[in-house]
């Protein structure tokens, strides 16, 4: 670039005579004895050395850009921006701050452009000549910005894409609202009235007849049932007759709630207590079955023994009878090595299996007219709930009270 003019800017719009002594008269050359140019557009280095170069014209270019940014020509505002180079650090930070104080308010779309122009002006009027931007670099930046700017077709395409995306979002929102409406409708359709609180609920449990109770009421009903089973023997017997399953809350219904429904409706801690109660019922049923089997075995052996006694001839020796009794006792001793006998009358053997708490079922109804369970001695009515209070069986058959 070959500098030809230092009179660039907006000086041609200046009045003929300025109060500050400025003049719009310019010179078209750089020859002569002194620095030639329009006051306000000449850099201090050119005025001081009278040497004109490209950086001198870049300075004039920067002043012109500042005039464009703040919307004012040579005035006090420009003077404030460009103080004496000895005291002014003319960089982007200081100049941009002063430009924001003087420039008009831009619309949002033009603030970025004003900042770019301010940065360009700051790099053009730097008092350090070597730091000033070259005109070639300024032109290259302008050309790159112009080439990167979107065309009218691209802008329209982007607007069309934004509108398409907005319509798509609107359609998706409508579909989401429709799906949510269907979900709420399905939830309302699935609601049933609880037989306890009479509220419309979705989650709960129902018996085979469809009698429904909600989750909250199911937890309360189960907790109350488990507490009453500890106090009411008749209720406990009825609960055992149902296999440990909770009966339907409808008094007229004979159905029970299946375990899968109960598991879904109850909290985990209450369901664990419910299952433990069922296990107790199963253990009780197994114990009753074993007791019945044992009684049948004892009755059968007694009949066999009595039959054998009846068939004995009056001439049979006492030795034969004792041998048979010893054989029977030996059989029972081998079959039930942990058998006990009454410590009072020595009635034995007394055989117990599985449960060592003789008080747990003592006096309970067998059901169906089978009488009550008795764990007392049949010879003298001795009873103790502790199995250890019964004496170990001595291996001798004792069938009646002893003196």
Residue 323 lies in a domain: yes
Q: Does 52 fall in a domain? A: yes
Dump the DSSP string for 264-290.
HHS-HHHHHHHHHHHHHHHHHHHHHHH
Q: Residue 343: which domain range?
A: 312-392
For tokens 């801690």, name the residue. 269
Q: From CA 188, how far away is CA 183, in angstroms rounded? A: 9
CA separation for the pair 320, 276 (Å, rounded): 54
Looking at the fold, whether 214 and 262 belong to one and the same domain comes out as yes
291 located within any domain: no
Does the residue 366 lie in any domain? yes
Identify whether residues 160 and 246 lie together within a single domain. no
Q: What is the pLDDT of residue 172?
A: 92
Whether residue 100 sits in one domain with residue 76: yes
Shared domain check, 15 and 99: yes
Residue for token pair 């990167």: 148
**Structure token digits, residue 253:** 């219904």
Sign of the torsion angle spanned by Cα atoms 117, 119, 120, 124: positive
Question: 121 with 219, same domain?
Answer: no
Question: What pLDDT is attached to residue 69?
Answer: 78
Q: Which helix (H) or strand (E) holds 296?
A: helix 268-311
C-alpha distances (whole Å) from 217 to each of 204, 205, 232, 258, 261 are: 8, 10, 22, 16, 14
**Residue 129's CB: how many other CB atoms inside 10 A?**
15
**Tokens (6 digits) for 124:** 């053009």
Residue in 392, 391, 401, 403 with CA at minimum distance from that of residue 347: 401
Q: Is residue 245 part of a domain?
A: yes
> Domain check: are 40 and 164 in the same one?
no
**Matching residue, tokens 């069309």:** 160
361-370 contact pairs (CB < 8 A, 24+) = 361/284, 361/287, 361/288, 364/233, 364/237, 365/237, 366/288, 367/237, 367/241
In a domain, 368, yes or no: yes
Looking at the fold, whether 353 and 386 belong to one and the same domain comes out as: yes
> Do 319 and 345 sit in the same domain of this protein?
yes
Number of folded domains in the chain?
Answer: 4
Residue with tokens 């040497």: 51
| Claim to verify: residue 107 and residue 72 sit in the same structural domain | yes
| Burial of 265 from C-beta contacts in 10 A (0-12 / 13-18 / 19+) | buried
DSSP secondary structure, 362-382, as one string:
TT-B-STT--B---S-TTT--
Pairing of strands 340-341, 212-214: unpaired
Residues 98 and 142 occupy one common structural domain = yes
State the pLDDT at residue 84. 45
Residue 1: inside a domain: no
Backbone phi, psi, residue 216, to 5°: -65, -45
Of 31, 60, 29, the C-alpha closest to 44 is: 60
CB 120 within 8 A of CB 133: yes
| Per-residue pLDDT at 2 | 47
Q: What pLDDT, on the 0 to 100 scale, is given for residue 24?
A: 47
Which of 350, 353, 325 shows the shortest CA–CA distance to 340?
350
* The pLDDT of residue 378: 84
User: Does 248 lie in the same domain as 353?
Assistant: no
With respect to residue 38, please indicate whether it lies within any of the assigned structural domains: yes
Domain boundary among 127, 162, 190: 190
Consecutive 10-residue averages of pLDDT for the chain (403 residues): 45 51 45 63 78 81 80 58 45 61 61 77 78 78 66 81 90 91 71 84 86 90 88 81 87 88 89 87 83 85 78 61 75 78 87 73 72 82 86 80 45
Residues in the chain: 403
| End position of a domain, from candidates 279, 296, 328 | 279
Residues 222 and 133 in one domain: no
**pLDDT number for residue 28:** 40
- Of 119, 148, 177, which residue constitutes the final position of a domain? 148
């Amino acid at each position: 670039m070959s500098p030809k003019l230092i009179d660039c800017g907006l000086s041609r719009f200046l009045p003929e005579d300025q109060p500050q002594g400025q003049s719009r008269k310019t010179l078209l050359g750089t020859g002569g004895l002194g620095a030639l140019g329009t006051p306000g557009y000449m850099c201090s280095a050119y005025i001081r050395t009278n040497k004109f170069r490209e950086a001198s014209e870049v300075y004039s270019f920067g002043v012109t850009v500042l005039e464009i940014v703040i919307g004012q020509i040579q005035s006090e505002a420009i003077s404030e921006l460009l103080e004496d180079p000895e005291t002014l650090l003319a960089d982007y930070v200081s100049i941009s701050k002063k430009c924001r104080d003087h420039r008009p308010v831009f619309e949002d779309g033009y603030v970025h452009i004003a900042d770019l122009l301010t940065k360009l002006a700051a790099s053009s009027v730097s008092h350090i000549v070597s730091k000033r931007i070259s005109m070639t670099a300024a032109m290259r930046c302008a050309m790159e910005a112009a080439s990167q700017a979107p065309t009218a077709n691209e802008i329209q395409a982007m607007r069309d894409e934004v509108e398409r995306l907005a319509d798509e979002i609107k359609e998706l929102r409508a579909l989401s609202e429709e799906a949510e409406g269907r979900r709420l409708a399905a939830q309302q359709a699935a609601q049933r009235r609880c037989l306890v609180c009479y509220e419309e609920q979705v989650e709960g449990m129902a018996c085979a007849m469809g009698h429904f109770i909600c989750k909250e009421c199911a937890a309360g009903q189960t907790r109350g049932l488990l507490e009453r089973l500890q106090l009411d023997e008749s209720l406990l017997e009825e609960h055992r007759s149902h296999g440990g399953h909770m009966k339907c809350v409808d008094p007229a219904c004979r159905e029970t709630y299946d375990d899968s429904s109960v598991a879904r409706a109850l909290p985990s801690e209450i369901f664990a207590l419910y299952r433990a109660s069922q296990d107790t019922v199963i253990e009780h049923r197994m114990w009753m079955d074993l007791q019945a089997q044992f009684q049948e075995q004892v009755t059968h052996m007694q009949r066999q023994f009595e039959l054998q006694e009846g068939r004995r001839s009056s001439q049979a020796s006492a030795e034969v009878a004792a041998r048979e009794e010893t054989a029977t006792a030996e059989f029972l001793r081998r079959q039930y090595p942990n058998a006990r006998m009454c410590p009072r009358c020595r009635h034995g053997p007394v055989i117990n299996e599985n449960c060592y708490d003789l008080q747990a079922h003592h006096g309970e109804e067998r059901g169906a007219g089978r009488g009550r369970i008795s764990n007392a001695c049949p010879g003298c009515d001795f009873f103790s709930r502790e199995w250890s209070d019964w004496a170990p069986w001595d291996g001798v058959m004792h069938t009646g009270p002893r003196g």
